[in-house]
């Protein structure tokens, strides 16, 4: 628990922490909204497909235990819209999912989207995903 807490606190709170490690903010910005719109555009252009239920459940299991699964301020409106897009789709861990502190995506929806529609190519973004994240291209949990 201490390690997870130190991963989410600002630099300097933990003695062994690297103050230069990139840390996500839990507030939504205009750039986050723009990134979300681009993700939806890629999803629509790709045929509005979803991943298999087993994959969504696998992803939700990983996200449910992540220290970056947090409440992001300012997301209530977009969460409702995103929920309408995924419709009745559920995952095994929906009750434990909030939003990703890295990209600000609503995790109950994100786990259902094909990985090629999600914006994960930035080195800055990749540096913030934990080593166990299914979006971290260096992770054993990544399936591109």
Domain regions of the chain by residue span: 27-128
pTM of the model: 0.82
Structural contact between residues 105 and 36, judged by C-beta atoms closer than 8 angstroms: yes
Residue 59 CB-density burial (10 A; 0-12 exposed, 13-18 middle, 19+ buried):
buried
The pLDDT score that the predictor gives to residue 96 is 94
The pLDDT score that the predictor gives to residue 97 is 94
Counting Cα atoms < 13 Å in the Cβ hemisphere of 69 gives 19
Residues of the chain where predicted confidence (pLDDT) is lower than 70? 1-2, 7-22, 74-79
- Express each pLDDT in 90-115 by its tens digit: 999 999 999 999 888 889 999 999 99
The pLDDT score that the predictor gives to residue 13 is 60
Q: Please report, in angstroms and rounded to a whole number, the separation of the first and last CA atoms in the chain.
A: 30
Phi, psi of 88 (to 5 degrees): -85, 5
Helix axis angle for 30-45 and 76-86, nearest 10°, is 10
């Amino acid at each position: 628990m201490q390690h997870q807490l130190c991963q989410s606190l600002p630099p300097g709170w933990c003695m062994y922490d690297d103050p230069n490690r990139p840390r996500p903010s839990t507030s939504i910005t205009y750039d986050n909204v723009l990134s979300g719109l681009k993700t939806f555009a890629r999803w629509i252009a790709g045929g509005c497909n979803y991943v298999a239920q087993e994959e969504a459940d696998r992803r939700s299991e990983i996200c449910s235990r992540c220290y970056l699964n947090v409440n992001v301020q300012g997301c209530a409106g977009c969460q409702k819209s995103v929920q309408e897009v995924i419709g009745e789709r559920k995952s095994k861990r929906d009750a434990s999912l909030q939003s990703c502190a890295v990209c600000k995506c609503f995790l109950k929806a994100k786990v259902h989207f094909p990985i090629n529609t999600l914006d994960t190519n930035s080195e800055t973004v990749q540096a913030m995903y934990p080593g166990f994240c299914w979006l971290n291209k260096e992770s054993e949990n990544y399936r591109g």
